[in-house]
Homo-oligomer: A and B are copies of this chain.
Amino acid sequence: MFKDILDNVAVKTPLVHSITNYVTVNDCANILLASGAAPIMADDENEVEEITSLCHALVINIGTLNSRTINSMIIAGKKASLLAHPVVLDPVGAGASKLRTDTAFQLLNEIKFSVIRGNISEIKTIAQGNGNTKGVEADVRDAITEDNLDEAIAFIKKLSVRTGAIIAVTGAIDIVADSRKAYIIRNGHALMSKITGTGCMLTEVIAAYCAANPDSLLVATAAAVCAMGLCGELAHSKLTEVDGGTSTYRMLLIDCMSKLNSKMLSEGMKIESR
């Protein structure tokens, strides 16, 4: 099941349209290419409908949202929904400002998302309007631990029912769930939080995998979360060999994604379902 996910990406080379932030946009484009997909970034309201129509999936990331691009996000999101493309939301910093929280709610009201990926504070904000977002990082008070895992899963499944979207919450422990089934994923490395863009890049990989596997969105999303976490682990092993720092780590992370195959993923994924 997980095996086919990557092979389908390789076969289809899905084209992913991203309306995303200017901080990590280059990493987003490169991780898509490394994943076997192809990127196009376009955010003007006069072209987003056409561009998204050419593509196989859409990412909406509110990391550096502004009044001009919010409108483009809505136009593109509606068009992609209409075309039944996977649409993935990354509500970066939801909870950190009224603009971000309001925009996240506006997007959720107007667009049917396939997947919503965020850290736990962002996801809590979306669910309840009260996550403790610290800038663009999750607050430690919100963290998912072994102790509150079942509670977190129930919470996430309920949010999936309400939004109709697969929810992917990433942190030390990742949860990917729809209304019925949850995957708990323990891949990843703490160093991933010392470079910018790992969350944004994961969102792109989710879109790529979903675009190539439109009938298996939950499995595709879980596979993407495993893949990114596994690359984080593999990159850390290589980093230790070369005694590098965080910038080398960023490079190795994308390198590992460009070399990942089904066999490596199936052997390295640390996943269970509940």
Contacts and interface: CB of A to CB of B under 8 A. Distances in A.
A43 B245 CA distance: 29
B51 A97 contact: yes
A27 to B, nearest CB: 7
Contact of A42 (B27, B33, B93): B93
A251 B247 contact: yes
A257 interface: yes
B41 A64 contact: yes
A18 to B, nearest CB: 9
A143 to B, nearest CB: 16
Number of copies: 3
B254 A258 contact: no
A12 interface: no
Contacts of A259: 245
Q: Range of interface residues on chain A?
A: 35 or more
Contacts of A164: none
A258 B194 contact: yes
Interface stretch (A130-138, A152-160, A170-178): A130-138
A136 B34 CA distance: 16
B255 A244 contact: yes
Given A26-B24, A134-B15, A247-B258, A34 B194 contact: yes
B250 A245 contact: no
A21 interface: yes
B26 A99 contact: no
Given A24-B26, A135-B54, A93 B196 contact: no
Contact of A196 (B30, B44, B65, B244): B30
Interface of A: 15, 17, 21-27, 29-30, 33-34, 38-44, 46-47, 50-51, 54-55, 63-68, 93, 96-100, 134-137, 194-197, 244-248, 250-259
17 contacts: A15-B135, A21-B41, A22-B41, A23-B25, A24-B29, A26-B26, A26-B27, A29-B196, A34-B246, A44-B65, A46-B97, A46-B99, A50-B99, A51-B96, A66-B68, A247-B253, A247-B254
